[in-house]
Chains A and B, each alone.
Chain A
C-alpha cells in the first residue's frame, strides 16, 4: 500500500508541476485586492444602485437597471422641481434634501487603494508570466483546445462523480475549460475592469477622451464595469467550487506551499 501511495504521489508530481512562488504570491495578493474591490464596489454601487447608458444618468432620468441594494434606488422624493426651458420633456432640476445611505468616503478610497495594488500585482504577473513562459505554456489555450467538442468533453468530465475529490493536482497543466476561464479573467475581465474604471475618472478622460467614445460615455463605462464585475463573481464562485470539490486541503497546500 505504501509503495502504491508513493507511486501515485510520484505520478501526480509529474502531472502537476505545482505553483511557483511568484505565482502563489500574485494569487494571494490578487485575492486580497479582489475581495476588497468586491466589498467596496458593492458599497459604492449601493449609494446609487441604478445603471444607465450614455454620458449622463441620475435619479431624474430613466434607468437601464435598478437594484434593491439600499433604499437609494427608489425614484426619490424630490422637491421644488424647476424647468430650465418651458418645453414639455425639457431637462429639469429638483432638490433632494433627505439623507441617503453613503459610505463612499472610505469605500471609494479603499477601492482605489486596492485597485493600485491589483495594478502593481497585475504588472508583476504579466512581466514574470511572460518572461518565464507561464502565460504562454499554462494559460493561453491552444486553438484545438477551444474547439466546442473539446470544451464540451472537458465540461462533462468535470461533472462526473469520480472526477471529484483528489482528482486534480495543484498547479498546471490545466484543463482546456480551466485555461479558457483563466485566460478570460487575466486578458479580458480584469483589464476591462481597469479601463472602465479609468473611464469613470474625470481627470483621466480629460487626457484620454477616446475612452468615453470607446464605451459610449461615463455611465456606459460604469455599466460595463458592473457586467465585468458580474462575470468575475461568476468565475469566483466556480473557482471556489472547483477548489472545494477537487480536494480543498490539497489545493490550498498547493497554492500556499507550492506542493
Chain B
C-alpha cells in the first residue's frame, strides 16, 4: 500500500514536471508504449511497430530436441522470500510467498481479473489439469547468454479463453512476488507458445526459475518472461507500472529486438 501511494505521488510529480517542461507525458495508462520524450524509447517503439507491421504474428520461435537442452543460469531474483536473493525484494509480497513456499504452493492461487467476463483464481492443480503445452526453447538473455530448456505449462490463450476476455481488451498485465510489473500485448498473449509454465525439464519449476509459475514468451528476450507470477490483469490500456516496470528503469518495454 505504501508503495502504491509512493507510486501515485511519483506519477503526480512526473505529470507536473512534464507539463511544466512542456513535454507530452501521459500517466500510468495509455494506448501505446510511452516514450517520455526520450529518443531511446522512440527507437524501441520504432522496432516494436516495425516488427508488428512486417513480421507475421504467429510465426513460431524455434523448438529444439530434448538432447539439445543445456545448463541454465538463474539470475535476478532466485527466491522472492529471501532479501539476499531478491534485488527487488518486496516487504508486502515476500512474506506471502514464503508462506506459500512452506506449503509447497498447495494453497497458492493465480488471479486472472480485469477486463474479463469471469474473473477467476486458479490453483496450481487447476492449472495442471488444463490442457498443457510442452516446448524445448531457447532462453535469450539481454546480457548476451542463451540456454535451452524444456518448459511445460498452460498456454495463456487457454487461460484467457477460460475467463473470457472482453472486447476492447488489448494488454495483459503481469505482477510478480518480487515486485515487478510488466505487460504484453494481445499478439504475444495469444501466441500459442506463450505459456504459464509450471514445469521445467520434466520437473516442477525450480524456485530459482520462478516457482510456482512463470511466463514463457519465446519471441522476446528473457526479461519479458516474468518469474514468480502473482497476478494477471487484462486491461484496455497500456501500463508502464511506474517504478516497478521496465520503462522507468531504463529498459525497453518491447524486447523482440
**A222 partner residues in chain B, CB cutoff 8 A:** 144
**A205 partner residues in chain B, CB cutoff 8 A:** 61-62
> How many whole Å from A7's CB to the nearest CB in chain B?
50
> How many whole Å from B207's CB to the nearest CB in chain A?
9
Question: What are 8 of the A-B contact pairs (CB < 8 Å)?
Answer: A50-B145, A55-B138, A55-B146, A72-B143, A84-B201, A204-B55, A206-B55, A207-B59
**B55 partner residues in chain A, CB cutoff 8 A:** 203-204, 206-207
A99 and B87 in contact (CB under 8 A), knowing A113-B39, A218-B146? yes
**A116 partner residues in chain B, CB cutoff 8 A:** 43, 46-47
| A178, B64: Cα distance in complex, Å | 45
**B145 partner residues in chain A, CB cutoff 8 A:** 48, 50, 57-59
A97 and B140 in contact (CB under 8 A), knowing A92-B71, A206-B55, A207-B59? no
Interface presence of A110 (CB below 8 A) = yes
Q: Are A206 and B62 in contact (CB under 8 A)?
A: yes
Q: Are B73 and A94 in contact (CB under 8 A)?
A: yes
Interface presence of A130 (CB below 8 A) = no
| A55, B148: Cα distance in complex, Å | 8
Q: Are A113 and B147 in contact (CB under 8 A)?
A: no
Chain B residues close to A by CB (< 8 Å): 39-44, 46-47, 51, 55-56, 59-62, 64, 68-75, 78, 84-85, 87, 138, 140-149, 200-203, 206, 208-209, 218-221, 249-252, 256-257
| A9, B196: Cα distance in complex, Å | 73
Q: Are B250 and A106 in contact (CB under 8 A)?
A: yes
Q: Are B43 and A93 in contact (CB under 8 A)?
A: no
> How many whole Å from B236's CB to the nearest CB in chain A?
24
> How many whole Å from A135's CB to the nearest CB in chain B?
26
- Nearest chain A residue, comparing its CB with the CB of B145: A58
A-B interface, 4 closest residue pairs, ranked by CB to CB distance from nearest:
A203-B256, A113-B43, A48-B144, A105-B250
**B206 partner residues in chain A, CB cutoff 8 A:** 82, 93
**B142 partner residues in chain A, CB cutoff 8 A:** 47, 104, 108
| A93, B84: Cα distance in complex, Å | 19
- Point out the residue from A58, A78, A96, A105 that lies within 8 Å of B251, measured CB to CB: A105
Within 8 A of B (CB), among A40-67: 44-45, 47-48, 50, 55-61
| A205, B74: Cα distance in complex, Å | 24
Q: Are A45 and B208 in contact (CB under 8 A)?
A: no
| A92, B41: Cα distance in complex, Å | 36
**A230 partner residues in chain B, CB cutoff 8 A:** none
Q: Are A60 and B73 in contact (CB under 8 A)?
A: yes
Q: Are B257 and A204 in contact (CB under 8 A)?
A: yes
Q: Are A112 and B257 in contact (CB under 8 A)?
A: yes
**B71 partner residues in chain A, CB cutoff 8 A:** 58, 60-61, 91-94
| A43, B43: Cα distance in complex, Å | 18
Q: Are A55 and B68 in contact (CB under 8 A)?
A: yes
| A32, B133: Cα distance in complex, Å | 46
Q: Are B201 and A91 in contact (CB under 8 A)?
A: yes
- Nearest chain B residue, comparing its CB with the CB of A48: B144
- A184-209 Cβ-contact flags toward B at 8 Å (1 or 0): 00000000000000001111111101
| A72, B145: Cα distance in complex, Å | 12
